[in-house]
Amino acid sequence: MKPARVFAGLTASTILTASLALTPQAVADPTTPTSGDDTGTAPTSPYNYAAIGDSATVAGSWFHPEKNLCGRNKKDYPAITASGTGLQLNEAACYNATSKNFQWTQPAGFGNSPNSPQIKAINKKTRLITIQLGLRDIVGAGPTSLFSKCAASWGKQYASMASGKLTELTGGPCRDRYEKSTLEKFDGLESHLAALYTAAKAHAGGNALVVAIGYMPIFNDTNTCWDGAFIPPRDRDFYNTIYDKLNRTIRQAARTAGIYSLVVSKNLAVRSACGAPGMRFTTFSGVPEASYPMGPTVNGQAHIAATLEQMWKDWKSTHSSL
C-alpha cells in the first residue's frame, strides 16, 4: 500500500472526529416543531412527522448544518421528507443515540449534547414516525467505539509497514479481536426494538405510519475499496457482517411490531463507499461529496426521503381524514 493511501485514511479519521465535535452543549428538546425546509416555506399540514434516530439519521452535507444541539442537517432525510410531505417536523434524532435514548435522556458525550427522550417528539397529531436506532447499541461511539478500537489494531500494522516488516495490510486484526464481543451485543436487541416500535405507534394513538429505517452498508464485498483502502478486506467484511445482521434484526422487529421497514441494501457495487463518487449512497471518508464520514451521502439521504414520501402518499391515500 502506498503511504498516500495511509495518510488519506488517517485524514478521514481526523475528519470524523472533528465533525462529531461541532455540537454546542445544551439540552435538546424535540417537542418544539422545526421547519425542515430551508426555503422558509411553512408546513402545509396541521399534522407532524416525528424523526427518531442517531448519527445516520442526521448526517447530511457539510455546508447545510442546522443550528441545533445534535448535528441535525438541512439535507438529512427527515428535513427533506418534511418538506416533501408538508408535515411539521419534530426531529429528535441525535448523534450517537442508542435505542435506550428513545425513552431516556441522552447525556452529553463525544460529539453530542444532552438530548431529551426522543419519544417526546411523538404526540396525538403525529402521522409519520421514522425510527433509526440500533447501530450505536452495537458499535458504540467516540473513543470507546468499535471503530476507535479497530483503528488501533490497524495502526499496529502501519507501524510494521513503516519498519519494513509488513508490505501490505493482511488478515483481519479487528475481526479477530472484537467479533465475538460485538456480535454478543445483538442478544435481546430484536425484542427491544420491537417493543420500542410498538410503544411509538401507541404513543401516536395508533394512527400513524411508523417506519423502521435500516442502515446502508458502508462497504461492498470486493477485495479492493478506494474509500477505506487502509482497512484490511477481512475487516471491511466484518463491518458488512454487522450491518447485515443489524438490518435483519430491524426487519424482523418491524414485522413483530406490525410496522413497515425500509432498508436500502441493493446495488452496493455502485452505492457503497467503494462505489462511484457522486452516485454512491454511503461514504467512509466523507469526500468528495462533502458528506459526514461513515454515513449516508446527500444522495443517500435524498433516496431515503423519496422512498418515505412515496410510502406516505400510499398510506395517506387509505386515510381520507388526512
Helix axes 233-257, 173-183, angle to 10 degrees: 20
Grid coordinates representing 288? 468528495
Tens digits of pLDDT across the chain (322 residues)? 333 333 233 333 333 333 333 333 334 444 444 544 444 456 778 999 999 999 999 988 888 888 777 889 999 999 999 999 999 999 999 989 999 999 999 987 766 678 899 999 999 999 999 999 999 999 998 888 999 999 888 876 666 556 666 555 667 889 999 999 999 999 999 999 999 999 999 999 989 999 999 999 999 888 888 998 888 889 999 999 999 999 999 999 999 999 999 998 777 778 999 999 989 999 999 999 999 888 999 999 999 999 999 999 999 999 866 6
